[in-house]
Structure 1
Amino acid sequence: MNYLKLTFDKLEVGEINELVAHESCGAISLFVGTTRDNFDGKTVVLLQYEAYEAMALKTMNHICDEMRLRWPDIKHIGIHHRLGMVPVKEASVVIAVSSPHRNASLEAVHFAIDELKKSVPVWKKEQYADGEGCSEWKENRECTWSKSYKDSHIL
């Protein structure tokens, strides 16, 4: 089962862990991406996320499909991404994968966050402390559909 969610609510890691738990699985691997308080020497006070929700969920489903092809023994996948304002130390993304053994879940979680950053249409705006430039929309360096990615990968 895939548990996919885009939400303005605070992400609860324990809740997502419970969603993916299964009696046949001896491993649950988690990735929790949180808002840090700095970037390039600037003090970050929060992040703001926006998404093209229908396309984001569709792309997240494709990521799950690819994970299941690569690691067929995966039982459950949870990918929850926060939208709106996310203060420092709070989770903006949680990915959880259950499988009978740890290697599949660990590798799948790593794959999932990399693919999410590359392909899911979610945008992030950094809000800085007063006097440090206010805010700035940021682009994931891994994003494959952006102009800067295409420019840097011209042969």
Structure 2
Amino acid sequence: MNPTIHLTINGERRAIAIDDPRVTLLDLLRERLDLTGTKKGCDRGQCGACTVLADGRRINSCLALALSFDGAAITTIEGLAGPDGTLHPVQAAFIEHDGFQCGYCTPGQIMSAVGLLSEGQAGDDPERVREGMSGNLCRCAAYAGITQAVLDAQARIAGTSADTLTETAA
């Protein structure tokens, strides 16, 4: 008998039969639920391309067994924008600050940034942002734009001006 888990994925409650108890959350999202925005990079928890939010906390979904998250709320890049298509402040800031090049790592970077900001760990210090985002690798080295985007999004969310913050991130 296959166990069934219950997940709220991007706001939608789902009951999902698990045919293999070893399936990772990443493989469940990509292969069973067609949520392919979450990327499989290293498949070892070292690159951050698979970052999603589980109950609001950042996790590497490639290391997480899907069964372990029964009852959890999972947010992927597909569920980040508003219902009317309005971009999340982090998504908008990534576009405005060229926080991506090839784009492969971008969903994981954005999800990690959202988690970092919701944890209140970014502040207005570029070094804190870089440290907080250090689990997400970018082979194209778009780190300056990523840092600026996170600082700008932090300022937008806090309702302050980011002009001075983004100048210090470069």
Judge same fold: TM > 0.5, yes or no.
no
TM-score, length-scaled by structure 1: 0.32
Higher relative contact order (CA 8 A, sep 6+): 1
Alignment TM-score, normalising by the size of structure 2: 0.30
Structure having the larger proportion of residues in strand: 1
